[in-house]
Structure 1
Amino acid sequence: MDVDNALSALNNPMRRRILEWLKDRSNFPPALPEHAGLEGVCVAYIQEKAKLSQSTISTYMGLLKRAGFVIAERHGQWTFYRRNEENIQTFLAAMQDELLKP
């Protein structure tokens, strides 16, 4: 994991808030019936909750994806995002090693 890239992605309160929201699917409206079995949250729901433009949300989600904090899956015209818990833990361990270990 590129720690500098990850820190850059987290250097924005809204991006951190999006990661927080994605911890619990109930932070968003229910999935449409045709998406009920899919993991993650539709980018449109993230945009609606964040009250930001589509282009801003796309940029934010791209940064979070490149940093490894989210996984994106395309289903038709929709992109669904979910947290990448394994990479989040890897980042936290790397930060702990860098900042706390002698």
Structure 2
Amino acid sequence: METFLKTISAVNDETRLRILNFIDINKQVCVCDIENSFDMIQSRVSRHLKILKEAGFLSVERKGRWAYYDIRTPMDEFRQSILKEISYLELNIPILKKSCSNEKDGATI
């Protein structure tokens, strides 16, 4: 019951739906690119990502100082069906704006 409620609560917010759909479309996305694409401050993005991760939707991989988020695999049927339904919604999903740079050579990742 607790897992179900946590999952439903995570997707009961339009911003989280948009972020989840954005990550599903763009695949492994750096947190800084989410901030830039959504024009949202880091603390707000981090809060939404934490909720989605705790609900079992996201995985995170650290690369240097950056955190990259992706759709968790494997994922149970319930969450997969939610992702599929989200893809049918008419959400205003921003275009991915790359903004992170590689610390070693200054090149954009």
Q: By the TM > 0.5 criterion, same fold? A: yes
Secondary structure, aligned partner of 1:86: coil
User: 1:9 maps to which residue?
Assistant: 10
Shift of 1:52: 1.3
User: 2:106 maps to which residue?
Assistant: none
Shift of 1:83: 0.8
Counterparts of 1:22-61 in structure 2 under 5 Å? 22-25=23-26, 40-61=28-49
User: 1:77 maps to which residue?
Assistant: 65
- Separation in 1 of the partners of 2:24 and 2:50? 18
- TM-score with structure 2 setting the length: 0.65
User: 1:29 maps to which residue?
Assistant: none
- Separation in 1 of the partners of 2:44 and 2:74? 26
Greater percentage in helix: 1
Amino acid of the structure 2 residue aligned with 1:19: L
Distance 1:89 1:47, change over 3 A: farther
Runs of 5+ consecutive residues of structure 2 not aligned to the other structure: 82-109
Whether the 8 Å contact between 1:69 and 1:88 is mirrored in structure 2 is no
Matched, 1:90 2:78: yes
Shift of 1:24: 2.0
Distance 1:46 1:92, change over 3 A: same
Shift of 1:92: 5.2
- Separation in 1 of the partners of 2:79 and 2:23? 17
- Separation in 2 of the partners of 1:90 and 1:49? 28
- TM-score with structure 1 setting the length: 0.69
Amino acid of the structure 2 residue aligned with 1:3: F
RMSD: 2.3
Q: Identity percentage over the alignment?
A: 30
Distance 1:13 1:88, change over 3 A: farther
Runs of 5+ consecutive residues of structure 1 not aligned to the other structure: 26-38, 94-102
